[in-house]
Structure 1
């Protein structure tokens, strides 16, 4: 059963701006609906005898705006089956009108003909009243989905759907992530409507302290070329690194290569780990920035050769995260962390097949980075080997291996074997200790780090007490320092 829906835009609010064609359509319609009667043109039309059925009650029945718009769409489609109806909306039907977007999607499925007649958009009045040309750079944002990531201070910004003080408060908080608290913005109420229009300039922090918000309210944020307003944006970081590497930039940065700053990447990573161990968020923030800089510099070097950009890096990462989490972004499920990890490994194997690599033909030890610290690398290699079945059935086997390797190390040292052989035997001892760590579920790198930290703190205690006694470690003796070490231990210094 076919039907027809004609959507008509009522304009920004001035009845004089309603076109003659739209007025005739409204007057001649047998069934007229309006999303909300809270609009000056609707009041004027009803005074002339053009009445409407409104969906204002739906706003009270539903908990959120998406549910409201879905319900209105359902009711319109139901009313249009076998009928011709007119549906009037504020402004222009194609500007910030969610119900029209839903109708455009649903009507073809329901075999309903949808016609749209434009109207004056609130944007027309905004350009005129706020006095800017949109070709200079302009963005229209919805208050309900406003995010600092979407805001570009270089563009004139209009924020619509600012219905009330609560919405204005949410808008203010998002804008304050980008602009200073006293940045001047303009609140526009009923632009173009005679006797109702208001434009109020306020500092940003007063945005939610102003009355008068309603269906015809919006916020204008003037454009600015002040780079300090973009200091939190990734785009600005990219620009800064590009400038540093440019001919007009920093001589030191220009000279760097992947190899020359290779060690910096490792050092910065360990400095981040130190802040994690120290539970120091402020320092962590700084060190994460230093680590990010290394990624930016390496990416910038490749951008200069035309190989890839940092945005390619981000794209590949995003694609990988989505692909390897089918239990989040796809149809699979994962009830626990182990199931999620299995999904990750399965998708990782599938990626290899797409690249022409047969996972089944790879060594089970593949995939461990060549330059990992030795203790960490040993742990990862053993875990991979154990997954393939190359492992003791019980931890007793690991204990026995330690005793065996320790005996061989003693023989090598006491027998005066060459240094290389002694080195190999010491490596065997360390490798066998890693096996025990794996059996008891302890990361050996982390365990050794904790012991190092404990050693440093206890030795610092020894130094401090010696300093109080007017001594240095060199001026002391082993017996005295050993006693102070035990004292630190008894004090629970870890």
Structure 2
């Protein structure tokens, strides 16, 4: 007889629901191995004098469940090959439901010449559907508590969480669910479902999940589905659905009329509003503005979905694949011990991607890659950085200061009444470009520096407006000297506040 492993499902624990085929196999006298003997059906084996070997000792020797399952599968294959005949392997429930060792055997048996036969038994899912009273056709998902992850959690379908072995595992499940559900959301704990005299079903608020007693090998948690709007609104799918509705014939007239061009400026404006919240260190505002920015991505993606070119899930797939591809030191075999090494890997992979598109990086301008529509100061900064990499740069900051003074003189020479508007535009651009060069030498981002000055100007000008309001006047009733005095007052107040903060 050829080497063979026959996997038997012991069911949920009710002897009357063990299949006749499985029971006959158990009585056949063939060597029998149990993943665990901590199961109600083991009493049946003992009553009928059926001997077995349990792998429970492996659980005590290994720190992780995956290592336990790997060892059990490997040992079963060794035993089958050594015997050259059939052996039995019995597992709780149904062999094909949440049984990792059986999956490992299915993957490995063909490669080592061991035949595999699987005979089903009642699954814990059968009892869960009966005891909890929901129909899986309504939508249902099965999760493993030992590898719990709420990404993609869908509150509008039922969720069963199996292998909630102990209080610590229940605590991990609780903390994960509390990221996507209210703390008081009602969940149901089931112990030994379908086992007479041992079954316990208890409904508790989510925050009490790890206070329930009695967790063990036959425990699971049911998260009933909900149609509550605030829960649906936490899903990416709901966002995509809303945007699709807004653009539909039955949606919003304004949204339907928009094109890539018409909302182009919105994308820029929303980006700057996010930057403002970052500068203000305002997490609440940041959350809101990032949502507004995400909406722009969704709208542009929906427009292309309607044209049949791509949809937002293509966008998600593309960026996921790019991130994995360009981080081989994280997702592959390549090493990168420093940020510079990681950047070098990134650039090398980016160049290879260009070659696959028929673009030779060596034939491209060194200045390529700087976005055409970057704000002026930022674009000047990036162009100068690229040129500096090949030595096209000043050697000292004082030389840059001299250049600024030279450009200022040239601008003064074309100021009215001399020179033309075109000359003044040209010379002012040269002056600003030189100032950006100085910012680079000082290791100061010119955009950030100007943004800080803009904020400072707004604060001081607001002080002047406040003074006018307090005096019951407007700008027509004041003059420049008075405004200058208030400006200086605002500067002093700002210095005092700054000095106190430093103190």
- Quick check: TM above 0.5? yes
The 1:478–1:175 alpha-carbon spacing in structure 2 relative to 1, beyond 3 Å, is: same
Q: Deviations over 1:11-38 (max 9, x none)?
A: 1111222223322332334532211111
Q: Deviations over 1:377-428 (max 9, x none)?
A: 1111112222233223443442332222122111111661011111110110
Q: Which residue in 2 is equivalent to 1:248?
A: 250
Q: Which residue in 2 is equivalent to 1:18?
A: 18
Distance 2:215 2:66 in 1: 21
1:474 is displaced (CA, Å) by: 5.2
User: What is the SS of the residue equivalent to 2:159?
Assistant: strand
1:442 is displaced (CA, Å) by: 1.8
Q: Which residue in 2 is equivalent to 1:162?
A: 164
Distance 1:468 1:134 in 2: 69
The 1:458–1:98 alpha-carbon spacing in structure 2 relative to 1, beyond 3 Å, is: same
1:450 is displaced (CA, Å) by: 1.3
Which of 315, 338, 363 in structure 2 is aligned with 1:313? 315
Structure 1 residues without counterparts, runs of 5 or longer:
none
1:487 is displaced (CA, Å) by: 4.0
Q: Which residue in 2 is equivalent to 1:448?
A: 450
Which of 377, 380, 386 in structure 1 is aligned with 2:379? 377
Instruction: Determine if contact 1:178/1:230 at 8 Å carries over to the other structure.
Output: no
Instruction: Determine if contact 1:182/1:205 at 8 Å carries over to the other structure.
Output: yes
The 1:144–1:478 alpha-carbon spacing in structure 2 relative to 1, beyond 3 Å, is: same
Q: Which residue in 2 is equivalent to 1:61?
A: 61
The 1:111–1:394 alpha-carbon spacing in structure 2 relative to 1, beyond 3 Å, is: farther
Q: Which residue in 2 is equivalent to 1:129?
A: 131
User: What is the SS of the residue equivalent to 1:141?
Assistant: strand
1:181 is displaced (CA, Å) by: 4.1
Distance 1:393 1:421 in 2: 29
Q: Deviations over 1:72-96 (max 9, x none)?
A: 3333334334124322111111110
**Pairs aligned (count):** 493
Instruction: Determine if contact 1:12/1:121 at 8 Å carries over to the other structure.
Output: yes
Q: Which residue in 1 is equivalent to 2:8?
A: 8
Of 400-409 and 197-206, deviating more is 197-206
Instruction: Determine if contact 1:244/1:253 at 8 Å carries over to the other structure.
Output: yes
How do 1:231-310 and structure 2 match up within 5 A?
231-310=233-312
Instruction: Determine if contact 1:37/1:43 at 8 Å carries over to the other structure.
Output: no
Structure 2 residues without counterparts, runs of 5 or longer:
499-503
Q: Which residue in 1 is equivalent to 2:94?
A: 92
User: What is the SS of the residue equivalent to 2:422?
Assistant: helix
User: What is the SS of the residue equivalent to 1:150?
Assistant: coil
How do 1:23-422 and structure 2 match up within 5 A?
23-83=23-83, 84=85, 85-413=87-415, 416-422=418-424
User: What is the SS of the residue equivalent to 2:415?
Assistant: helix
1:360 is displaced (CA, Å) by: 1.5
User: What is the SS of the residue equivalent to 1:413?
Assistant: coil
Instruction: Determine if contact 1:149/1:233 at 8 Å carries over to the other structure.
Output: no
1:243 is displaced (CA, Å) by: 0.9
User: What is the SS of the residue equivalent to 2:216?
Assistant: coil
1:151 is displaced (CA, Å) by: 2.1
Distance 2:182 2:491 in 1: 52
Is the aligned partner of 1:428 residue 2:409? Answer: no
Of 368-377 and 400-409, deviating more is 400-409
1:359 is displaced (CA, Å) by: 1.5
Distance 2:404 2:330 in 1: 44
1:441 is displaced (CA, Å) by: 2.2
Distance 1:249 1:387 in 2: 52
Of 82-91 and 442-451, deviating more is 82-91
Q: Deviations over 1:420-454 (max 9, x none)?
A: 11111011000011112222322111111112222
The 1:90–1:320 alpha-carbon spacing in structure 2 relative to 1, beyond 3 Å, is: same
